Structures are given as structure tokens and as C-alpha cells.
């Protein structure tokens, strides 16, 4: 059985970070080891959340795992709360990366042009440093702009702008870049038919290949969908899907989860009903793992 480790917080209520990564990656048939970086009563979009930092547990956990000789098929880092945790992630990747380990860094810290509470521009630049250790990074447009130290452009950009952004992000050192949340307002010659959709662009720094995947844009957005996206992408990659198939599945699963959520009249606004979308995920995964054999 394949095994990954994911390092992010536990928000006890909120359906993000570890409370989505664990169920999703496990359901995809991959053993999911975790290092919780902090325990919060809820994610940070609720008022009055509690916060217990677990940074001091990370080194002892790594020491024990080193003695046990654990290796991982993937290392996936998500929401990290301090410079010290970023440094510990460099160490963890250096220690547990095997020849075939995929390192996925989700520089989870911002959206819609704004940093999440508690994050700074200096932290964003340090997160850019962690991207150098990654095989694959999965920023949204806001995180990309903060990591590159350039102004956030929320709309009105064209294909050339995105291609330039992909190349600049690859310059941070990751082998592949998966950029999320792309919406073209005007029709693009080479990307006809994407108006009104939202999508993903990827760039392979080794081959120079650029790929796109657009899917339906839902009218409402929810917290935790970025974490769901990165979790499905990690699970699918480890199960042997190509990067392109992995992020298409991840994007489609997020859409399906939002559809399930808004089908309930009294839905929660803090996170999506990804649980009801599992049948679609597992059907597609089983079809695509058979076809990629
Ligand atoms: O979904 C990202 C995330 C993860 N962890 C915590 C958060 C957020 C987003 O707000 O607050 C604690």
C-alpha cells in the first residue's frame, strides 16, 4: 500500500486542512500519516478560535520516524503557521524524501487578493523558499502573486500573463507548477470556449509543457476547497495518475462537492459536503487507474 505524510493543522470544526486531507486520501486507497502543526477549535474564519501550537512536537516525531526508517511515496505540506515550521519542513523533506517520493507544497495562506489572518508578506516570501524543495506546487493566483512579490491581478489578464506567471513560479525551484483559479474574461484565441469557466494551468519546467483544464464555475465559494483540491491531487498522483489527470479529477471533485453542498437548503457556509461526493471520486479513480495501467 502506498503511504504519504501530510503536514498541516487540525481545525476541529471547519472542514479544511487535516479534517479533509485524512478522509480523502485514505478513501483513495493511500495510507495517510500526519503531522498536526497546531490544533484550532475552528479554522480562522470563525471568530474566537482557540489555537495550540504543536511546533515543538515536530522534531521529536521526525526523530522517532527516522529511527523506524519510515519512507513516504509523497510528502504534502499545507497550512503552516510560522517561519520555524517552514524550516522544519525543509528538514522533513530532506530526511524523508526517497528516490521516488513526490513532494507537493500547497502554499496555503491567501485567497481573493488577501492574505489569511496572521500571515505577512515576509511569510509569503519564506513560503516561496519552501517551494524550491517541491516537485509540485499548487498556488492560487493570490498566493502566486504574494510569493513572487508582484501585484495581484484579479481579472482582465490574458493567456500570456498566466504563462508568464507559471514560468516565474517555476523560477522558485519546483519542477511542476499547478496554478488554480484562472478565469479569462475575454475570449482567448487559443483557449476558445473557456469564458465563464474557471480553471487550472500547469507548467512542467523540465519539458516546457503547458496544459490547461477548465471546469464549471460555481456561484458560491467555500473554505477548504483548496485543501480538498491538493488532497485529491496528492492521492491521485500516488495512485499513478498523470499530473494532468490528477488535477482534472481534483477540480471536478471540488465542483461535485459544492454541488452536493448547495443541494441542501440549510447548508453550512464554512466547508463543503465532500463526503457526499465520494462515490464520484472513487468511480473516476477506479476507472482512471485501470486505464493508466
Ligand atoms: O483551508 C485553509 C485553512 C487551513 N487551516 C486553517 C485555516 C484555513 C483557511 O482559512 O484558517 C486554520
The owner of cell 508578506 is: 121
- Between the CA of 224 and the centroid of ligand 1 the distance, in Å, is 7
CA atoms within 13 A on the CB side of 40: 23
pLDDT number for residue 269: 84
Contact 79, 53 (CB under 8 A): no
pLDDT number for residue 160: 94
Is 151 buried (19+), middle (13-18) or exposed (0-12) by CB count in 10 A? exposed
Please, which pLDDT band fits residue 190 given cuts at 50, 70 and 90? Answer: low
In angstroms, the CA 127 to CA 107 distance is 6
In angstroms, the CA 41 to CA 9 distance is 11
Lowest pLDDT segment from 23-37, 62-76, 181-195:
181-195
- Between the CA of 251 and the centroid of ligand 1 the distance, in Å, is 19
pLDDT at 176 over 90: yes
Higher pLDDT, 193 or 104: 104
pTM attached to this predicted model = 0.96
The owner of cell 475575454 is: 186
Share of the chain above pLDDT 70, in %: 97
- Between the CA of 250 and the centroid of ligand 1 the distance, in Å, is 18
Say what angle helices 83-96 and 55-68 make with each other, to 10 degrees.
Answer: 10
| Average pLDDT rounded to a whole number, residues 145-157 | 96
- Between the CA of 59 and the centroid of ligand 1 the distance, in Å, is 23
Contact 152, 142 (CB under 8 A): yes
In angstroms, the CA 141 to CA 233 distance is 18
Query: What torsion, rounded to 10 degrees, do the Cα atoms 93, 96, 100, 102 define?
Result: -40
Higher pLDDT, 187 or 200: 200
Cell of 212: 490547461
Please, which pLDDT band fits residue 191 given cuts at 50, 70 and 90? Answer: low
Pocket of ligand 1 (CB under 6 A): 9, 11, 16-17, 40, 43-45, 79, 108, 116, 223-224, 226-227
pLDDT number for residue 291: 78
In angstroms, the CA 211 to CA 60 distance is 41
Domains of the chain: 3-292 (3.40.1190.20)
pLDDT at 17 over 80: yes
Amino acid at each position: 500500500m502506498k503511504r504519504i505524510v501530510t503536514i498541516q493543522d487540525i481545525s476541529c470544526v471547519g472542514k479544511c486542512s487535516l479534517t479533509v486531507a485524512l478522509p480523502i486520501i485514505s478513501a483513495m486507497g493511500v495510507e495517510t500519516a500526519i503531522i498536526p502543526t497546531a490544533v484550532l477549535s475552528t479554522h480562522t474564519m470563525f471568530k474566537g478560535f482557540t489555537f495550540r501550537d504543536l511546533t515543538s512536537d515536530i522534531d521529536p516525531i521526525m526523530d522517532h520516524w527516522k529511527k523506524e526508517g519510515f519512507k513516504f511515496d509523497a510528502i504534502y505540506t499545507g497550512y503552516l503557521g510560522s517561519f520555524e515550521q517552514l524550516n522544519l519542513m525543509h528538514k522533513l523533506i530532506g530526511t524523508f524524501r526517497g528516490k521516488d517520493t513526490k513532494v507537493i507544497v500547497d502554499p496555503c495562506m491567501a485567497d481573493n487578493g488577501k492574505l489569511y489572518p496572521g500571515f505577512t508578506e515576509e511569510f509569503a516570501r519564506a513560503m516561496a523558499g519552501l517551494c524550491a524543495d517541491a516537485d509540485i506546487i499548487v498556488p492560487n493566483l493570490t498566493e502566486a502573486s504574494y510569493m513572487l512579490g508582484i501585484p495581484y491581478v484579479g481579472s482582465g489578464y490574458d493567456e500570456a500573463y498566466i504563462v508568464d506567471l507559471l514560468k516565474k513560479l517555476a523560477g522558485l525551484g519546483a519542477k511542476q507548477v499547478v496554478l488554480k483559479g484562472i478565469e479569462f474574461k475575454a475570449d482567448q484565441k487559443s483557449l476558445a470556449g473557456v469564458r465563464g469557466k474557471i480553471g487550472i494551468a500547469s507548467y512542467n519546467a523540465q519539458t516546457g509543457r503547458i496544459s490547461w483544464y477548465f471546469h464549471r464555475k460555481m456561484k458560491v465559494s467555500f473554505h477548504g476547497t483548496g485543501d480538498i483540491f491538493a488532497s485529491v491531487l496528492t492521492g491521485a498522483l500516488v495512485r499513478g495518475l498523470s499530473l494532468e489527470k490528477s488535477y482534472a479529477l481534483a477540480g471536478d471533485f471540488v465542483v461535485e462537492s459544492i454541488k452536493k453542498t448547495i443541494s441542501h437548503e440549510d447548508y453550512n457556509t464554512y466547508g463543503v459536503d465532500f463526503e457526499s461526493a465520494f462515490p464520484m471520486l472513487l468511480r473516476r479513480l477506479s476507472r482512471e487507474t485501470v486505464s493508466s495501467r
